[in-house]
A and B are shown apart, each in its own frame.
Chain A
Amino acid sequence: DAKTTQPNSMESNEEEPVHLPCNHSTISGTDYIHWYRQLPSQGPEYVIHGLTSNVNNRMASLAIAEDRKSSTLILHRATLRDAAVYYCILRDVRRGNEKLTFGTGTRLTIIP
């Protein structure tokens, strides 16, 4: 299975943009890039996903490199509620209800 690499932790000031990187150099052509986040003592929640093109939704933006070997989750204006562990996960689009394999993720701390 293609794996992802993320920094263990990052800090950002409140109300500033946050760029969370993810490397996935062994990504295959049928792998979607998914981002989930887990707030303290809660189950994970879906953030965004993409295949090739950049994606935007109400929570975040996903910028995907042209060679697809890396991607960046962008929180445009971080709030204290965005403090969480962010997971970048690859999932093969051909495999229907495939399991998610969680790595260690990036622990994001927001500084007031």
Chain B
Amino acid sequence: GAVVSQHPSRVICKSGTSVKIECRSLDFQATTMFWYRQFPKQSLMLMATSNEGSKATYEQGVEKDKFLINHASLTLSTLTVTSAHPEDSSFYICSAQGLAGIRQFFGPGTRLTVL
């Protein structure tokens, strides 16, 4: 099946710094990528949907200026958590889908810890 990678898999940073997470579709063109956040013992919550070459659509309650999403190519989307704080500590997961796809392919996730 299709493969989606995320980098880094784990990151620890100080409060106030910015962190960039990359999501790559390795063997297919992802016209749409999704970013999710998952807190411990909770389900995945969608943060935003991004289509290649256009601005991301954010879910209600997600600050677009804090969580910057760039989807500049059909194989790469990035999520930047700006001025991270301890409450941003979470498991961030991306998924990708091709133009005619029915299923989404998920990355392995990035665990962010903000001290």
Contacts and interface: CB of A to CB of B under 8 A. Distances in A.
Contacts of A42: 108-109
A11 B51 CA distance: 40
B90 interface: no
B105 A46 contact: yes
Interface residues of B, number: 29
Main SS at interface, chain B: strand
Interface of A: 32, 34, 36, 38, 41-46, 49, 87, 91, 93, 97, 99-105
B98 to A, nearest CB: 9
B44 interface: yes
B104 A102 contact: no
A43 B103 contact: no
Contacts of A38: 44
Contacts of B93: 43-44
B31 interface: yes
A43 B107 CA distance: 6
A21 B94 CA distance: 27
B34 A99 contact: yes
Interface in B69-115: 91, 93-95, 97, 99, 101-109, 111
A83 to B, nearest CB: 15
Interface of B: 1, 4, 6, 31-32, 34, 36, 43-46, 49, 51, 91, 93-95, 97, 99, 101-109, 111
Contacts of A101: 46
Contacts of B1: 46
20 contacts: A32-B102, A34-B103, A38-B44, A41-B91, A41-B111, A43-B93, A43-B94, A43-B95, A43-B106, A43-B107, A44-B44, A46-B1, A91-B102, A97-B31, A97-B49, A97-B51, A97-B101, A99-B34, A99-B46, A102-B43
